[in-house]
Amino acid sequence: MLVKRKAFTLIEVLTTLFIISLLLLLILPNLNRVRMQADNKQAQAMAQLVQGQIELYRDEHGEKEVTLEKLLQNEKYLNQAQGQRVKQLNIKIINNQAKYEG
C-alpha cells in the first residue's frame, strides 16, 4: 500500500515564487533610492565638515585663500582619509567655501 505524502503542489510553489519576485521588484528600486539619498546626505555632511575646518584655519592663520592641501598639512585640520573622501566626493573649495554638487 502506498503512503500518500503531504507536499506542495507545483502551482503552490510557482505562486509563491511569483509573489516573492513581485515583492523584490517593488523593494529593490526603493533600496537603491534610499542608498543614494544616504550617500548624498553623507557628502553634504563632509562638505560642512570641510567648511568648518576652513573657518578654523582662517581664524588661526589669518590667510585669505584656503586650499585642501593647507587643510591636510600635518593632518591638523583634515586627516588623509578625510582628504581622500573629499576628493572622491569631488568637494571643491571655491572662495573659501566648500562646495558639493551632487
Distance CA 35, CA 50 (A): 23
Give residue limits of the domains in the chain: 11-100
Q: What is the mean pLDDT of residues 69-96?
A: 93
Q: What is the pLDDT of residue 101?
A: 85
Cell output for 88: 572622491
Taking residue 70's Cβ as centre, other Cβ atoms within 10 Å add up to 17
Tens-digit pLDDT profile for residues 39-65: 999 999 999 999 999 999 999 998 889
Residue 7 confidence (pLDDT) above 90: no
pLDDT band at 1 (very low <50, low <70, confident <90, very high): low
Most confident option among 21-35, 41-55, 63-77: 41-55
Question: Taking a C-beta distance cutoff of 8 angstroms, is the pair 53, 77 a contact?
Answer: yes
pTM confidence score: 0.72
